[in-house]
Structure 1
Amino acid sequence: MVKILLAAIILINLLFIIVFVRDLLKHRDEVMSEPSSLLWTSLSQVVIYFLSTFGISDFAISTALYPKAKWISIKKLPGTLNTQCVIPVFVMSLAYISTINVGIKTLLVCIVCQVIGAYIGPYFVVKLPEHIIRYFVIAGLLVATALILGGKFGWIPSNGTATQLYGWKLWTTGLLMFIYGALNNIGIGSYALTMATVYAMGLNPVAAFPIMMGGATFSVSVGSMQFIKLNDYSRKITLTSIFGIIGVLVAVYLVKSLNTSIIQWVVVVVLLYSAVSLWMGERKSRNSEAA
């Protein structure tokens, strides 16, 4: 079953790559005119997905960085957050699912439920006005911050030993994964939420990684193909995400035991600063409209 799952992961991601490359060729004259810097975006992908491999949300870090650097509009941010992470998360999922033991039934329920949520989500996101998306992004930053702090101060339990879920725990987790898949599409990353759920359900904390990456690799690839069809993402940033593979491989194979405690504190500060900045920007925009 694990081999079948890995084969399915490869197939769905190859399908995304085909859809993306076709769209890239169709709009090749527009790619380089996008405002993001090719050099700095590529370097940022290495760092973002190095941290993401340890469960530090790439959605949250990208949300903190991209609007500040003026690389993308808030309107296209949710789509870009999804499309840019497909290839790096593809590599992460292969690495974690093939090396960490999780009950196959639990893994499949989590993945299928998250994919369904991700498929439905984009059709609602593209209809949202920019200021509503901004509020969701702010909420996502605050949720990610709260969950990181919850883990740091022991508010979220993380001492489970189970590798499989049964009964109400399994179906509750499936329902939550459906919600997380939908939330991905409005810029609220699922990593921190999935980790909190895994801990709360009594699973071994390390089980969070194949569940996170397994669910994400299907859900973001499915959701991202919808964003590509709806022309609601940055092609340049998504193209440079291939450099994120470097960060993933360094994290997975060279520094598996890295202590991310200090990094997590830095991320908390960045997330809070970004949330406040977006809130102040929204207030300024509303005041200007009122004036």
Structure 2
Amino acid sequence: MSDPRLYLFSVLALLTAGLLAAWARAAAAATRAGRERDGWRGRPSAFELVVGFGTNFFDTLGIGSFAPTTSLFKLKNVVPDEEIPGTMMIGHTPPVVIQAFIFIAIISVQPTTLFVLIAAAVLGAWLGAGIVARLPRSRIQIGMGVALLIAAATFLMAIFEVTAVGGEASGLSGGSLALAAGCLFVLGALMTIGIGIYAPTMIVVSLMGLNPAVAFPIMMGASAFLMPVAGLRFLKAGRYGLRAALGLATGGIPAVLIAAFIVRSLPLTAMRWLVVIVVLYAAIAMLRSALHERRSGPGPAADGRRAAGAR
């Protein structure tokens, strides 16, 4: 393989194929067993398809899809609350994998930088989960929310040429790469308690002097490697809604194809404005979640809230 990205594509394709095969077997087994409960049989509804399209369109722009999907599913009571995390993890996997393929293919990133930062985020999610899970989640959310607000203000100053943030570089090396990898390791670990990776990755990439667009293949790639593995766990437990997951996947795929080329065509200034919007959205959502968690305290919905903020 002359292009090193093909190794990433090959591994990601195998992981995704494994999830899709297991998903098909689980759906067939459920149908054969005659399970009639909602979410296991029938075609996706128009609402589920629209949710899949809308959430994945904005996910491709860096907004994230889990929080809005959770809100919309709860609004219409699409699946039981305990099945929302698994439904999202399985249903959003095909669109996110397509995002990863597209952005890795169309946005120029130095291969070493791409591989190291994706690997750091994935390792953080796996190795750092036990440590981070013991930290006070609401305090982390408040700290991250405030940091993102400061970062958004910094980007606004860069847009109006008050200060300089970001650049045109497509790769890092030496100490800069090691520092960025350390940041992505921490962000990957924070994903396990519901702290989204998208907006912080945009900030890390830009502050390291890279083009903000470089964040897209990195953050989509990290999510794409994590989601098929997590989806298999939900499939094994049967904690998901089949029809709703199909709606997310079916509606999400065309949305990704449309939104990805919008991102690709944005000039640097427009990309900075997109980063500001994404970061402000993430900061406000994070601070609201922290406030809600402090008011309600830990409870049965904790897992759902974690999944809702995971990206």
TM-score with structure 2 setting the length? 0.70
In the TM superposition, what whole-angstrom CA distance separates every residue of 1:116-147 from its partner, at most 9, and x where no partner exists? 3445689999xx9xxx9xx95x7798678657
Q: 1:59 aligns with which of 58, 66, 69?
A: 66
2:16 partner amino acid: N
Distance 1:41 1:143 in 2: 34
Q: Does 1:271 align with 2:297?
A: no
1:208 partner amino acid: A
Q: 1:95 aligns with which of 99, 102, 108?
A: 102
Instruction: Please provide the CA RMSD for this pair.
Output: 4.1
Q: Does 1:247 align with 2:247?
A: no
Pairs within 5 Å for 1:94-113? 94-113=101-120
Q: Does 1:33 align with 2:38?
A: yes
Could you say if the C-alpha distance between residues 55 and 110 of structure 1 is closer, same or farther in structure 2, counting changes exceeding 3 Å?
Answer: same
- Asked if the contact 2:166/2:208 (under 8 Å) is kept, the reply is no
Post-superposition shift, 1:275? 3.3
Could you say if the C-alpha distance between residues 114 and 140 of structure 1 is closer, same or farther in structure 2, counting changes exceeding 3 Å?
Answer: same
SS at match of 1:154: helix
Distance 1:122 1:26 in 2: 33
Distance 1:162 1:209 in 2: 14
Post-superposition shift, 1:86? 1.1
- Asked if the contact 2:113/2:177 (under 8 Å) is kept, the reply is yes
Identical counterparts, % of pairs: 27
SS at match of 1:98: helix
Q: 1:22 aligns with which of 5, 21, 25?
A: 25
Could you say if the C-alpha distance between residues 223 and 193 of structure 1 is closer, same or farther in structure 2, counting changes exceeding 3 Å?
Answer: farther
Q: Does 1:181 align with 2:195?
A: no
- Asked if the contact 1:185/1:223 (under 8 Å) is kept, the reply is no
Post-superposition shift, 1:246? 1.5
Q: Gaps (5+ residues) in structure 2?
A: 157-163, 301-311
Could you say if the C-alpha distance between residues 283 and 10 of structure 1 is closer, same or farther in structure 2, counting changes exceeding 3 Å?
Answer: closer
Give aligned pairs, total: 277
* Residue number in structure 1 paired with 2:56: 49
Post-superposition shift, 1:155? 5.6
In the TM superposition, what whole-angstrom CA distance separates every residue of 1:63-114 from its partner, at most 9, and x where no partner exists? 4433444345554444444333211111111111111111111111122233
SS at match of 1:27: helix
Q: 2:221 aligns with which of 198, 214, 217?
A: 214
In the TM superposition, what whole-angstrom CA distance separates every residue of 1:188-237 from its partner, at most 9, and x where no partner exists? 33211211221232222111011111111112222222333344444333
Q: Gaps (5+ residues) in structure 1?
A: 287-291
Could you say if the C-alpha distance between residues 163 and 152 of structure 1 is closer, same or farther in structure 2, counting changes exceeding 3 Å?
Answer: same
Structure label with greater radius of gyration = 2
* Residue number in structure 1 paired with 2:7: 4
Distance 1:272 1:171 in 2: 27
SS at match of 1:153: helix
Post-superposition shift, 1:50? 0.7
- Asked if the contact 1:147/1:193 (under 8 Å) is kept, the reply is no
Could you say if the C-alpha distance between residues 178 and 270 of structure 1 is closer, same or farther in structure 2, counting changes exceeding 3 Å?
Answer: closer
1:154 partner amino acid: T
SS at match of 1:113: helix
2:99 partner amino acid: M
SS at match of 1:106: helix
Could you say if the C-alpha distance between residues 3 and 276 of structure 1 is closer, same or farther in structure 2, counting changes exceeding 3 Å?
Answer: closer
SS at match of 1:109: helix
* Residue number in structure 2 paired with 1:153: 153
In the TM superposition, what whole-angstrom CA distance separates every residue of 1:164-195 from its partner, at most 9, and x where no partner exists? 22233323333333343344344433211211
